[in-house]
Structure 1
Amino acid sequence: MHEVVKPDLRRPCDVVVLLSGAGGNLQAMIDSLQDGSGPGRIRAVISNRADAYGLERAKSAGIETRVLDHKVYEGREAFDTALIELIDTFTPKLVVLAGFMRILTPGFVRHYHGRLLNIHPSLLPLYKGLHTHQRVLESGDAEHGCSVHFVTEELDGGPLVVQAVVSVELHDTPATLAQRVHAREHLIYPLAIRWFAEGRLALGEHGAILDGQPLGPSGHLIPAI
């Protein structure tokens, strides 16, 4: 059995969210955490785009926001260095990527090792990268879904935490399939954050650990409904 260190639940688990767009997953996190019943708290939302609607969602919820425009930095390393400095001013225990459209440098990923989560719209390790809904339909798959995983230096390749399955229907389009996948994302991302904030979820030497037990290569699987 692997030991999971319990956090001090007298202090909230501060979370920083990184995003670039509309912030649908951010809103699901806000809705999940706003009642204060759990130890998680969104401390700040940071975007590389000033026009990201997710910033407005954060402001409406009374959450601090910051904009760090990647275009004013010479290269990814310079931007990520500045981003680390900004994130660390909020001293988060967890950093989550919620549609943050930047490929992170190895140095950034190592800095937040074991406390950096991402969500991807496929049943990883299938369909890493972009345009997952279209690729699933083109392949004729019967099932699709989404995955929360710890971030490592391998793109979309970190240890899986939780996956939710969606059945592919006969007349699905990328848009209709995406809509149902998003609904499942809004379920599993707040769930994973809550597990982490409660001290139940951790990254071990050989993968993700939940309640002291290795999760295995597929993480916690939620079947299609």
Structure 2
Amino acid sequence: MSRKKIAILISGRGSNMGALISAAMDPSFPAEISLVLSNRPDAKGLQRAQDFGIPTAVVDHKDFGGDREAFEKSVDEILKANKIDIVVLAGFMRILSPYLVNAWAGRMINIHPALLPSFKGLATHERALEEGVKLHGATVHFVSAEMDDGPIIIQGAVPVLDHDTPDSLAARVLGVEHKIYPKALELVASGKAKVKGGTKVTTGDTAEATAPLIWP
């Protein structure tokens, strides 16, 4: 089996990165983590990746004086030099321009701590509690030019409890993230989930596998 080469882009500790690395340790997993790249040289996730023997790279966005396209061209060059097949965003705290998004259209995925299309942007757990929703969770989606948009691959949900705080809710959602992100990467790397027409994900006979997953 030919495994897809994956680059994980991080800005911090790389919590979801750890779940992806663990999943990729299984030889039957259709992807291997070939590179971890950060826009911050002090990102703790870089050392975590090195501890697993994974090559790392840093492209410090501060070196580009606010020129997003120049920054992204540098990132793109490194991805191509490493023959990356799929880019996975895992706490990469940069808003991407159409340049990089279009260059990796259908080959870049992201995870968001909410059940999209609800609660795009920041402070998702606080907003979920304020709105009084009964279900909250996380979404893995293909990246598009619009923030927290793009065809949904998989979602995981948790009930919102009466005594929840933003921190307690965030902790349960993070547990869901660690389950669904490896599953989403497996689906994309195997070709079972892909974008069709730029607006939806086709899954063939894997519809059941990509249906929303709910954990109590």
Q: TM-score range by the shorter chain?
A: over 0.9
Q: Which amino acid aligns with 1:134?
A: E
The within-5 A match list for 1:35-54 is 35-54=26-45
What whole-Å deviation, never above 9, does each CA across 1:14-42 have from its counterpart, x for those lacking one? 00000001111000001111121222100
Which position in structure 2 is the counterpart of 1:115?
107
* Separation in 2, partners of 1:145, 1:39: 26
Which position in structure 2 is the counterpart of 1:60?
51
The within-5 A match list for 1:151-162 is 151-162=143-154
Gaps of 5+ in 1: 1-8
Q: Is 1:186 aligned to residue 178 of structure 2?
A: yes
Deviation at 1:141, TM superposition (A): 1.1
Which position in structure 1 is the counterpart of 2:13?
22
* Separation in 2, partners of 1:67, 1:212: 39
Which position in structure 2 is the counterpart of 1:4?
none
What whole-Å deviation, never above 9, does each CA across 1:50-78 have from its counterpart, x for those lacking one? 11111111111110001110000031111
Structure 1 window deviating more from structure 2 (33-42 vs 61-70): it is 33-42
Q: Is 1:85 aligned to residue 77 of structure 2?
A: yes
Runs in 1 of length 4+ with deviation above 3 angstroms?
Answer: none
More helix by share: 2
What whole-Å deviation, never above 9, does each CA across 1:91-118 have from its counterpart, x for those lacking one? 1111010000000010110000000000
* Separation in 1, partners of 2:152, 2:193: 11
Q: Report which structure shows greater RCO (CA 8 Å, sep ≥6).
A: 1
TM-score of the superposition, structure 2-length normalised?
0.94
Which position in structure 2 is the counterpart of 1:12?
3
Q: How big is the alpha-carbon RMSD for the aligned residues of Structure 1 and Structure 2?
A: 1.3
Does the 8 Å contact 2:23/2:29 carry over to 1?
no
* Separation in 1, partners of 2:26, 2:110: 23
Deviation at 1:171, TM superposition (A): 1.1
SS of alignment partner, residue 118 of structure 1? strand
TM-score of the superposition, structure 1-length normalised?
0.91
* Separation in 2, partners of 1:37, 1:103: 33
CA 1:112–1:212 in 2, change beyond 3 Å: closer, same or farther? farther
Does the 8 Å contact 2:7/2:88 carry over to 1?
yes
What whole-Å deviation, never above 9, does each CA across 1:129-168 have from its counterpart, x for those lacking one? 0010011111111110000000011111101010001111
SS of alignment partner, residue 50 of structure 2? helix
Deviation at 1:86, TM superposition (A): 1.2
* Separation in 2, partners of 1:163, 1:153: 20
1:125 corresponds to which of 109, 117, 129 = 117
